[in-house]
Amino acid sequence: MYDIIIIGGGVSGIGVAARATRAGKNVLLLEAGDRLGGCVHTWQPTAGFWLEMGAHTAYNSYGALLALNGDPGFGNLIPRAKVSYYFLADGRVQSPFARLSFLDALRHLPFNLGLKKTGLDVATYFTRLLGAGNWSKLLAPAFAAVLSQPAGPYPAAWLFKRKQREKAAPRKFTHAAGLQGWLTDLAAGVTVRYGCRVEGLANDADGVLVRLAGETLSTRQVVIATPPDVAATLLAGIDPALAARLSQTPMAEIETYAVVLPAATVKLPPVAGLIGGDDAYFSAVSRDYLPHPEWRGFAFHFKPGLLDEAGKRRKAAEVLGCTPNDFAFEQSKINRLPALTPASVVFAAELDARLAKTPIRLAGNYLNGLSLGDAAQYAADHCQ
């Protein structure tokens, strides 16, 4: 009998598992895949060079994660070099500020300074704050690049929350082995079983039964730290009505296509990334924040269903000012994220209240916001 089984080895599950292990509990982390990280996926195509296929930036406001860092002085965290995001206009990089209409902003900002985010979506909030022109030309594409999906419906209350910063850690950072390496380090000491896709849950007199292919495990407590659609399937054996509502959380798919190529072949100056705007991609995130003498790498997060693989290669080459023959390494994957709305904020509180008296807890990026810090903070606050 385990004290706690955590289902899902992304940032949400890792945080819970690491804390419970350090508290001396009998813990098991079950991960369907063959690595930890989930949406944090560091691809290493060649010795000495890696590229993030998913989350790429961590901040010193991610307190719940930094609290688990093995080195209290944060010497293992590498500050990101100062590079910026740009739009591409006529083949040249353009600063986002070039798209800001101060006049439009001045017409709106003074009248909306006290505007509360509660209950508003991002489009409504920022249109009122800075005007419709600034929303459509600048903020909608910039926020879509941050969220890797259309940003308008996202809950304003969950974007750019004010959080305390851990001043001893770099403001924005990565790790020698990328963010997946960092999360894997945070999980040191946790008992993990890989390739274990949980199929269902059932109530038991002493807690919960966790069903895997050909095996059932008993535990006092379960944390479901999977995407919401999977969580809904698992919850169906415990609370079918709640599971049915959770299953309606819409999911956004992102077609990620990453390339690594000799630095000398790229015409683009060093950038943190590009904002796709009306183009076929939400963002193209570079590795230039950790420069390498030989290689550069870019993860293009494409809008779903627009381009086939050949089209993505052509687009990437066009943006980088090279030909597809210059690509030394290529990799594709589908990323999935919940498509959240202000209703998600209300539903998250309801989910928490409804499960409070049960041995089941939920953790994930649909309960407090998409960022690593928000997902980890929710898990720390609700799952111990």
Residues in touch with ligand FAD (CB under 6 A): 7-13, 30-33, 38-40, 54-57, 148, 196-198, 225-227, 230, 254, 301, 335, 337, 364-365, 370-373, 375
The contacts of residue 110 (CB under 8 Å, 6+ apart) are none
Judged by CB, which is closer to ligand FAD: 238, or 337? Answer: 337
CB of 78 to ligand FAD, least distance (A): 15
Judged by CB, which is closer to ligand FAD: 156, or 232? Answer: 232
Judged by CB, which is closer to ligand FAD: 9, or 359? Answer: 9
CB of 5 to ligand FAD, least distance (A): 10
For residues 178 and 258, is the Cβ–Cβ distance under 8 A?
no
Judged by CB, which is closer to ligand FAD: 171, or 197? Answer: 197
CB of 211 to ligand FAD, least distance (A): 10
CB of 112 to ligand FAD, least distance (A): 28
Of all helices (H) and strands (E), which one includes residue 275?
A: strand 273-275
Judged by CB, which is closer to ligand FAD: 110, or 214? Answer: 214
Tokens of 252: 């956004």
- Count of alpha carbons within 13 Å of 238, Cβ hemisphere only? 30
Choose among 17, 55, 33: nearest CA to 365: 55
Strands 215-224 and 2-7 turn out to be: parallel
Tokens of 88: 């591409």
Choose among 146, 198, 148: nearest CA to 336: 148
Judged by CB, which is closer to ligand FAD: 127, or 377? Answer: 377
CB of 323 to ligand FAD, least distance (A): 26
Question: How big is the chain by its Cα radius of gyration, in Å?
Answer: 21
CA distance 36 to 189: 13
CB atoms inside a 10 Å sphere around CB 204: 15
CB of 131 to ligand FAD, least distance (A): 27
